[in-house]
Amino acid sequence: MSDKKRKEQNKEEDIKVESENQQEELNLESKEEDNTKEKDEKDSSKKEKKKKLTKEEKLEEALQLAEESIADQKDKYLRLAAEFDNYRKRTMKEKAELVLNGGAKSISSILPVVDDLERAIETMKTATDVEAVKEGVDLIYQKFIKILGDNGVQIIETIGQKLNTDLHDAIAVIPAPTEEEKGKIVDCVQTGYTINEKVIRHAKVVVGE
């Protein structure tokens, strides 16, 4: 074989080897790209999974906070209900005691009048001066009326007043003695009373017409 042919043959072999090397490099690069792509896909999947777990954890945390808030509100409600129940019981007890104490105070203020009446009754048994007895009874009556007034009890005015059905109970109607007395109360059959401006007994009256 001539040198010229040998050189050409060597040259072709070198080109072939170089071509094979280039092809191998291309295959290697392609394989690396595939591996990189596969790795990226795996990383992306892991991130997505991690992201999903994070949302679930957030929901679980929110649920736990909500349950704790509900438990706290329930505890506050139960405490408030218990406090209100205690307040109601205490108020009812205080009101009952106030009524009882108020009644006892009113009775205590009347006892001196009872003492005066007992003495007057004893005096009447041997008294000869009728006017003195009448005067004593009148004083006892005035004392009693004052005690009633001190306890908020007032006599309802009647004679000369216009009929007021909120205060008066007309049991009879008679011809008025004068023109001025027409439509007005001319007589009181039974005294009426108010306590703290509330009627406890209407006055029974006679009205002129």
Residues 135, 104 within the same domain: yes
Of residues 150, 118, 157, 151, the one with CA closest to residue 137:
118
The SS3 assignment for 192 reads: coil
Residues 86, 146 within the same domain: yes
The pTM of this model reads 0.52
Residues 77, 95 within the same domain: yes
In a domain, 35, yes or no: no
Q: In percent, how much of the chain has pLDDT > 90?
A: 42
* Cβ-based neighbours of 52, under 8 Å, separated by 6 or more: none
pLDDT tens column, 85-111? 898 898 888 888 777 777 778 888 889
C-alpha distances out from residue 127 to 139, 140, 160, Å: 17, 17, 37
Q: What is the pLDDT of residue 117?
A: 92
d(CA 203, CA 170): 8
pLDDT tens column, 63-86? 888 898 898 899 899 999 999 889
Q: What is the pLDDT of residue 61?
A: 86
d(CA 102, CA 206): 35
Q: What is the pLDDT of residue 171?
A: 96
Domain that holds residue 175: 152-209
* Domain count of the fold of the chain: 2
pLDDT over threshold 70, residue 126: yes
C-alpha distances out from residue 84 to 14, 74, 80, Å: 103, 15, 6
Q: What is the CATH classification number for the domain harbouring 187?
A: 2.30.22.10
Q: pLDDT band for position 35 (50/70/90)?
A: low
Report DSSP letters for 17-66, one per residue.
HHHHHHHHHHHHHHHHHHHHHHHHHHHHHHHHHHHHHHHHHHHHHHHHHH
Mean pLDDT (whole number) for 45-73: 77
In a domain, 16, yes or no: no
pLDDT tens column, 133-173? 899 999 999 999 999 999 899 999 999 999 999 999 999 99
Last residue in a domain, options 99, 115, 150: 150
